[in-house]
Amino acid sequence: MASEQLKQWLEQYWQGELNHVEEMQFRSELKINKASLTGELKSLAEWFEANENVKQEISLGDDFDEMVLNSTVRKNISMGNWSWWKIAASILIIISLGYMAWLLPQQNSKPKNVAEITNTQEDPEKAFEETKATLLLMANMMNNGKEHLNSLQLFQVAQDKIQNTLKQEKSKQKEDIKNKI
Amino acid sequence: MKKILIIAMICSTGSIAHAQNSEFINFYNKYSTNTEFTVVSVNERMIALFSNFEMENEEEKAVMEAVSKLKGIKLIANQNTTKGKQLFNEAQKSFATGYDELMTVRDGNSDMRFLIKEKGGIINELVMLVGSDSSFVAASLFGNIDLKQMAKMAKGLNISGMENLEKLEDMDDN
C-alpha cells in the first residue's frame, strides 16, 4: 500500500472521517506494514498493537457472568432482610409511641405512685379506725362467703351420700333377684 | 437498629408495669367526687405511722399484722342507691382483665365477688365487690396480702360485714 494512502487515512482518522470498515482496513494496513513505517504512522501502529494486546489480556473469563449474577442475588437477599428489619422496627416504634401518647395523659390525670394517693383522713388515729373498719368489712364478707361455700359443700356431701345409698340398695335388690332365680 | 428495638421494648414494659392497680384507681376516681358515696383512701405513708400505736386488744393486733404489709387501701361504697346492681356490673367489667376470681357468692338479691391479682405466688391486690338492689361496695387492698391473716382477723366476731360499713359512713359524716 502506498504511504500516501496511509497518510491520507491518518489525516481522515484524526478528523474522525473514517467509517468503521475504512478504520479496520487502516489498522490492518498499519499492522502489516509496521516494519516499513516511520514517524507518526509507526507510533500509531505501535499504539494500536499495544491496545489490542491489552484488550486480549484483560478479556473476561467464561465464569464472569455467573459471578456477577451470584453477587447480585446475594446483595438482593441481604437488602430484603434489612428492609424487613426497618419495617418491623418502624411499626414497633409507632405502636410504642402511640401507646405512650395514649397512656401519658391518663397517668397525668391520676396518682402516679401508691405513696402519692391522698388520704381521706389526715389524723393517723382516724385513718387507723378507717383501715380497721375496711379490713374487718372485707374479712367478714370473705368469711360469710366461705360459709356459703361450706354449706354448699355440705349439701354436695349429703347429696353424694344419698346417691351412694340408693346405688347400694339397687345393687342389693338386683343380687336378691338373681339369687331367687 | 437493634438499640432502637430494645429501647422501644423497655418503654412498653415500663408502661405496662406502671399500670398496676390502675383499674381500681380509675373506678375509684370516677365516683369518689360524688358526695353520695362513702370513700376511704389510706396510703403507704399513713400505714407506716400506724406502727407507732399501741394495740389494745387481739383484734387490733390482728388488724395491725395484716395492714403492716399493705401499700394502700381504697374503698368506695353507697348504702342508699338504687343502682347497686348497675355499679356492680360496671365494676365487674372494669376488672375483667388482669384479675383472677377468688370467690363469687350470690345470696338472694346480693352479689359478692372477690378478685385477686397474683404475681409469683404472692397476692398483691385483693378486690371485693358487693352489689345489691340497695347498696354497692368496692374495696381494694394492695401490697402483700395474706388471706389466712384476713380470715383470722374476723374470726370470733359476731357482726356482719355491713356493720363496719355503717361505722365508715359515720366517720365520713364527721
Q: What percent of chain A has pLDDT over 70?
A: 82
Distance of alpha carbon B96 from alpha carbon B91, whole angstroms: 9
Unique residue bearing C-alpha cell 374487718: A136
Distance of alpha carbon B174 from alpha carbon B153, whole angstroms: 27
Q: And the C-alpha cell for B13?
A: 414494659
Identify the residue among A120, A125, A129 best suited for mutation to test binding to B, counting B beta carbons within 10 A and taking the highest.
A120
ipTM, interface predicted TM-score of the complex? 0.77
- Average pLDDT score over chain B: 79
Q: What is the pLDDT of residues A118-141, one digit of tens each?
A: 788 888 888 888 888 888 888 888
What pLDDT is attached to residue B15? 46
Does A84 touch chain B if contact means CB atoms closer than 8 Å? no
Q: Please say if the pLDDT value at position B151 is more than 90.
A: no
Distance of alpha carbon B137 from alpha carbon B131, whole angstroms: 7
Residues of B in Cβ contact (< 8 Å) with A110: 22, 25-26, 29
Distance of alpha carbon A132 from alpha carbon B51, whole angstroms: 14
Provide the number of CB pairs (under 8 Å) joining chain A to chain B: 170
Burial of A4 (0-12, 13-18, 19+ CB in 10 A): exposed
What pLDDT is attached to residue A1? 57
Of A115, A125, A132, Cβ closest to residue B43 = A115
Q: Please say if the pLDDT value at position B47 is more than 50.
A: yes
Which positions 123-152 of A are in contact with B (Cβ < 8 Å)?
A: 124-146, 148-149
Other beta carbons less than 10 A from residue A160's beta carbon: 10
Q: Please say if the pLDDT value at position A72 is more than 90.
A: no
Higher-confidence position of A92 and A79: A92
Does A81 touch chain B if contact means CB atoms closer than 8 Å? no
Burial of B108 (0-12, 13-18, 19+ CB in 10 A): exposed
Distance of alpha carbon A166 from alpha carbon A155, whole angstroms: 17
Q: Please say if the pLDDT value at position B22 is more than 60.
A: yes
What pLDDT is attached to residue A76? 57
Burial of B42 (0-12, 13-18, 19+ CB in 10 A): buried
Q: Which whole number is the average pLDDT over A158-180?
A: 80
Unique residue bearing C-alpha cell 388482669: B98
Q: Please say if the pLDDT value at position A153 is more than 80.
A: no
What pLDDT is attached to residue B88? 93
Q: What are phi and psi of B36, to 5 degrees?
A: -70, -15
Residues B41/A120, Cβ–Cβ less than 8 Å? yes
What pLDDT is attached to residue B174? 56
| CA distances for B3 relative to A80, A88, A92, B6, B7, angstroms | 20, 13, 13, 5, 6
Top-ranked range on mean pLDDT: pick from A15-24, A89-98, B91-100? A89-98
Q: What is the pLDDT of residues B62-102, one digit of tens each?
A: 888 888 888 999 999 998 888 899 999 999 888 888 889 88
H or E segment to which residue B137 belongs: strand B136-145
Q: Please say if the pLDDT value at position A26 is more than 90.
A: no
What pLDDT is attached to residue B16? 44
Rounded to two decimals, what is the model's pTM?
Answer: 0.55
Of A93, A114, A144, Cβ closest to residue B142 = A114
Q: What are phi and psi of A154, to 5 degrees?
A: -60, -40
Q: What are phi and psi of B103, to 5 degrees?
A: -160, 140
Beta carbons within 8 Å of B143's beta carbon, 6+ residues apart = B44, B69, B70, B71, B72, B124
What pLDDT is attached to residue A37? 82
